[in-house]
Structure 1
C-alpha cells in the first residue's frame, strides 16, 4: 500500500483516487502517522459484505458462526393465550 501525506492527497486527489482503483487501498497520513485509507467502491462493497453476511449466508454456512449474539430467554415475558379450545 502506498502512503500519501495529507498535503499530497489534497493536492493530487484525482491521482489518489485512480491509484486506489488501480492499485488497491491507499493510506493517507498526517505527520507521518497513518490516519485514513482510501479504497475503491468494489473493495468497500466486498469488505462490507464480508463484515455483515446475510441471514441466508449465515444459515447456509458450512460451519456455525459463534460470534453471533443469541439473546437469553430468561428475560422473556411469557403469557398465556386463549386458543378458544375448551
Structure 2
C-alpha cells in the first residue's frame, strides 16, 4: 500500500485514483497519522458484502446458540471438604 499525504492526494487526485485501481488500496495520512484508505469499488463491495448485518443474523432461522458455550463433559468432582 502506498502512503499519500492529504496535500499530495488533493493535488494529484487523478493519479491517486489511478494508483488505487492499478496498485491496490492507497493510504492517506493527515499530519503523519494514517487517516483513510482509498480502495477500488469492487474491493469495497467485496468487503461490505462479506459480513451479514446484525438484523440479518437475528432474523436467520439457523440456530445461533450452538457455539456460545462448549459442550459439557464429565468433570471430576472434588472430594468433600470438611471443616472442623
Query: Which aligned segments of 4 or more residues in structure 1 are displaced greater than 4 angstroms?
Result: none
Q: Distance in 2 between matches of 1:8 and 1:65?
A: 48
- Give the structure with higher Rg (CA): 2
Larger helix proportion, structure 1 or 2?
Answer: 1
SS at match of 2:50: helix
Q: Distance in 1 between matches of 2:18 and 2:12?
A: 10
Following TM superposition, by how much is the alpha carbon of 1:52 offset from its aligned partner in structure 2, in angstroms? 2.4
> Deviation string for 1:15-61 (max 9, x for gaps)?
01001111111000011110000000010011011122778xx88xx
> Could you say which residue in structure 2 is the equivalent of 1:39?
39
> Could you say which residue in structure 2 is the equivalent of 1:7?
7
- Gap regions ≥5 residues in structure 2: 66-84
Q: Distance in 2 between matches of 1:65 and 1:26?
A: 38
Q: What is the aligned-residue RMSD (CA, Å)?
A: 2.4
Number of aligned residue pairs = 61
- Gap regions ≥5 residues in structure 1: 67-86
> Deviation string for 1:50-79 (max 9, x for gaps)?
122778xx88xxxx877xxxxxxxxxxxxx
Q: TM-score, normalised by structure 2?
A: 0.61
